[in-house]
Amino acid sequence: MDEEPDIVSSGPRWGHGAARWRRPGRSGWIAILVLGGVLACLGLAISLALQVAHQNDTINKLHAAVRNTRQPAPAAAALPTIEASVAYTLPDTADGSYSVVAVGIRPKPGSAVLTWLFVYSRHAHPGARYGLLQVTCKGQDVTMAAIADGTADQDGNLTIVAPNLAISPQEGAWVEVYRWADGTVLGGIQGPPIGRGATTFRDAPTC
């Protein structure tokens, strides 16, 4: 006698014994919330890792550029050297999160150290323009100089490069990132960026 084949149905069953959807219980909601928190933390960790990698990549490229400059140079020629490099994370704003890499380069032996600043943001407003301002206080006198600017791309990524800055090692000096459209300060570094005691700020300090 031939055996009848088993019939497997993948379609929904609407009969009396059909399984019905049930709302998750308390333990189910807790599991969902925990999973959401883990995913959010994972996303933040990846973002911070990419930011640190970007900063380290900038410093490594500068070191490589200095080494390449040394190779073809005559023995008697002055060679630039990297004296220091520091990375800062500025306080978060509605215009995104910003980080700054400061690199001190001595163009030749005995010369003053010049500062290169690299500003990065991964969450700026797409198409918006941002600038970098150098401010110096001498008593009650304030001197401001726009030193560089950049425009965020369609994904909100922003890079500003300010090379060869002569920033005096004094307490009344700072650099600040600002929104170009209305001059709103988004944060900055008070004190020489490659000096000791430099601190980040959200609102611009006063003299």
Per-residue pLDDT of 45-83, as tens digits, reads 445 444 555 555 666 656 565 555 545 545 556 678 888
- Say which residue the tokens 């994370």 belong to: 89
Q: What does the alpha-carbon distance between residue 40 and residue 33 come to, in Å, rounded to a whole number? A: 11
Question: Who wins on pLDDT, 145 or 18?
Answer: 145
pLDDT of residue 66: 54
Sign of CA dihedral 118, 123, 129, 130: negative
What count of residues does the chain have? 207
pTM of the model: 0.63
pLDDT in tens, 2-49: 444 444 444 444 344 444 445 555 555 444 544 444 444 445 444 544
pLDDT score recorded for residue 170: 64
Task: Give the pLDDT band (50/70/90) at residue 146.
Answer: very high
Q: Give the E-state strand segments of 21-168 in sequence order.
A: 81-89, 98-106, 114-121, 129-138, 141-151, 158-165
How far apart CA 115 and CA 159 sit, in angstroms, is 17
Number of neighbours of residue 42 by Cβ within 10 angstroms: 10
Q: In the chain, what percentage of residues exceed pLDDT 70?
A: 61
